[in-house]
Amino acid sequence: MRIIIGISVIAACLLSGCSLLVPEQEYDTAVMVSMNQPDYQFAWVTRGDLLQTEKIVCAYMPVAKEDFFFDYEGEDFAGIYVNQGDTVFAGQLLAQLYISDLEQNIRKAEAEVSTLNLHIKHLREQKELAVERQTVILQGLSEIQRNTQMSVEAVETDYEDQVRMSQTRLELLNSQITLWKEEVERRSIYASFGGTVSYVAKITAGSKSALQNKVVTIIDNSKALFEAKTDRRDFFEPGMEFIVSVDQSEYNVAVVDPSELEMKASDQSVYFEVQDPLAELNQKDKGTVTIVVDQREDVLYLPAEAVTSIDGKSVVYYLNEEKIPEYKQVTTGLIAGDYIEIIDGVVEGESIIVN
């Protein structure tokens, strides 16, 4: 667009008592000013559906979780045999205190038990032979001679006394072995269920056990939940399915009734059961669930930045037939993210200035 501005200036100076006439100055009769058309950004009024959503923050929580401790203070570690992230099975050895002396005592005692069992077996076999031999001997003697010999009953009693003494020793050894093995069990940590190791204590050479120090934690990922503490509980019903986003991953979940959980549940929370739990999740993970809090179907809408306010009224800018920006009032409705519903004031397909 070019604007022509005409300027004519004629100046005369009449000085009384003076014949000097000030000469006329010359001016350009027109000045040309160039104005470039601004670069506008436009959005077109669109018809469609609007969804007003809200992200609900939720925290991952395994249903089954167990922390393991030793019941001893100041004992040497034999070792921790798992690492964080390992998958373990029920009954697997996780960690142990020093048990070498106990194991040596158990081996010696078990060897003696084996020897005693053989000894008792031999005594019983010898008893049968001795009784049989003594019976034959006594049968060939007179009554007077038999009185000078050991009776069959005495032979049996002698062997039974030996067996009884060996059995007493055997019982003592077995009792001691049981006590030693129980001590080994107390100094050992076994997984009570299959799951994933979520924590492992750091130990070094010379590390000692402590009663309050956690050694290993296992979580059961076969069943896991996300818990959301929210005032939007009315938007969730048991069985409803959602997607929880954790970083770049998504997990299918379903709302579960808190009364069905084998745990203490809060009536101020919503619980989502993970349908396909994975070991990669841990208790510190947080995610979001997106819910629809309001919606409009088959309505006109614009980017929210296209609508501004003048004197408390919503307006939009457009170019008139002369390509000059003008504004007009519109009636707005639902705001859904980056878009806003336009109830009245525009028509579908109309171009609106955004910037």
% of the chain residues with pLDDT over 70: 87
Backbone angles phi, psi at 31, to 5 degrees: -120, 125
pLDDT reported for residue 29:
34
CA dihedral 229, 231, 235, 239 (to 10 degrees): 30
Helix (H, G, I), strand (E, B) or coil at 146: helix
Residue range 102-122: mean pLDDT, rounded: 95
Number of H-type helices and E-type strands within the chain: 3, 20
Could you tell me if 79 and 96 are in contact, meaning their C-beta atoms sit under 8 angstroms apart? yes
> For residue 32, is pLDDT > 70?
no
Rg of the chain over Cα atoms, rounded to whole angstroms, equals 48
**Distance of alpha carbon 327 from the chain centroid:** 52
Backbone angles phi, psi at 11, to 5 degrees: -120, 135
> For residue 111, is pLDDT > 60?
yes
pLDDT reported for residue 190:
96
Residue range 327-349: mean pLDDT, rounded: 96
Q: Render pLDDT for 177-234 as a digit per residue (tens, 0 to 9).
A: 999 999 999 999 999 988 889 899 999 888 899 988 999 999 886 778 899 999 999 9
Distance CA 92, CA 316 (A): 69
Distance CA 199, CA 204 (A): 16
Helix (H, G, I), strand (E, B) or coil at 306: helix
Q: Render pLDDT for 248-270 as a digit per residue (tens, 0 to 9).
A: 889 899 999 988 876 777 888 99
List of residues 6+ apart from 284 with CB closer than 8 A:
60
Residue range 59-80: mean pLDDT, rounded: 89
